[in-house]
Chains A and B, each alone.
Chain A
């Protein structure tokens, strides 16, 4: 019992660091993209209440990556947001590895279900 407690604690510490790292990196990317966006389009008028939606490459990870490589400021923001969305996914993947190392079959199964659901959500609607 004491051995598994120790493992749990180690796992939790690493999970905490992983989460902080993910949020930190994504916030920096979003901030960089945001500052670029404001410096280029800061004085243009805005309106976000029109329902008309025109399909944009920024709706897919592929389009976001291509835009970010071309240093399109909106694509850089979206890249940061994708990294942020993937942070909890990485956390669950990390827990899965930790449970596997503890040979905890039941929690390997439960965590796999959660991870599969998250990946399904992320892939859903992809063109």
Chain B
């Protein structure tokens, strides 16, 4: 394959990943690494480096829009970034010692979990309970725009959420993903934040988490310009198109499509990991 053909095909695949990721709100980063390794036989380390870069681009691009809407809780985001950045640096330190096959299996497991989360129903939590003492100390409580003015919400189980964010940071660096599904799990399920606050604050944090390990990978030579270029441009273009057409998209059907894609990729990554085909 020539460089031109490779770049065009990777850009096209990345565009699809970015489009699906932004339309479903699940992020396209998780599709990029399996696509590069399974379809294009790119070395896993290069795939992870390119994916991390695309994650920073989409997170930062989308965060701008979300922050304006008023759902993002900047205090919660910054407080939890302490855990995700420590996790990301730990993951970057670990990544040199973990064999590619183990990474592929881990990736498969995270893909399965993402597929499982994407079909679960969204449940809203009651705001009646008082906040966790740490949340009060840290002034994490917030409001979000509701149909009848600002709605207040409380914040539960802060230490558990913080601990899970550390894990999200490790996985982000090991696999080159945003770990959005795990970040939302921490904020939505453990800290009992409203769903839209969880997803937008997660997105706000993803870029910072990815940036923590991307610098390490750059110095190690895992960020290859010829691979990162079509991936970053493709994913970003897909995400921008996705944000434009979001209003009149059939989100439910797209989620199903995304879930099927993620399940196929999970099977591929697990198979390759166990048979050593990568």
Q: Which residues of A contact B (CB under 8 A)?
A: 8-9, 11-13, 15-17, 19-20, 22-23, 26-27, 30-31, 33-34, 37-38, 41-51, 53, 55-56, 58-60, 73-75, 77-78, 81-82, 84-89, 91-92, 95, 106-107, 110-111, 113-114, 117-118, 120-127
Contact = CB atoms under 8 A, between A and B. Distances in A.
Given A46-B1, A46-B3, A106-B138, A77 B225 contact: yes
Contacts of A111: 78
Given A91-B207, A121-B88, 5 more contacts: A22-B60, A38-B3, A38-B4, A58-B221, A84-B53
Contact of A38 (B7, B75, B219): B7
Query: Helix, strand, loop or mixed for chain A's interface?
Result: helix
A88 B56 CA distance: 8
A107 B75 contact: yes
A91 B60 CA distance: 9
A125 B215 CA distance: 9
**What class of interface size applies to chain B in its complex with A?**
35 or more
A92 B82 CA distance: 11
Contact of B86 (A8, A107, A117, A122): A117
Contact of B40 (A48, A95, A120): A48
Interface stretch (B19-27, B190-198, B228-236): B228-236
Contacts of A125: 216, 219-220
Nearest to A41: B3
Nearest to B66: A16
A46 B29 CA distance: 23
A15 B72 CA distance: 12
Interface of B: 1-4, 6-7, 40-43, 46, 53, 56-57, 59-61, 63-65, 67-68, 70, 72, 74-75, 78-79, 81-82, 85-86, 88-89, 92, 138-139, 207-208, 210-216, 218-221, 223-230, 232-233, 236
B116 to A, nearest CB: 29
Contacts of A41: 3
A121 B82 contact: no
Contacts of A46: 1-3, 6, 226
Contacts of B215: 85, 118, 121-124
Contacts of A77: 225-226, 228-229
28 contacts: A13-B67, A23-B61, A23-B236, A27-B57, A30-B228, A34-B7, A37-B226, A41-B3, A42-B3, A45-B1, A46-B1, A46-B3, A53-B221, A74-B226, A81-B228, A82-B218, A84-B53, A85-B211, A85-B215, A86-B211, A87-B207, A88-B211, A92-B81, A110-B78, A110-B82, A117-B86, A118-B215, A121-B211
Contacts of A37: 3, 225-226, 229
B119 to A, nearest CB: 31
Contact of A12 (B56, B74, B89, B210): B74
B229 A49 contact: no
B230 A34 contact: yes
Given A16-B64, A27-B236, A34-B7, A117 B85 contact: yes
Given A12-B68, A34-B233, A114-B82, A121 B61 contact: no
A92 B208 contact: yes
Contact of B3 (A8, A11, A23, A43): A43
Given A74-B225, A77-B225, A88 B233 contact: no
A74 B225 CA distance: 6
B60 A23 contact: yes
B3 A85 contact: no
B79 A110 contact: yes
A113 B230 CA distance: 34
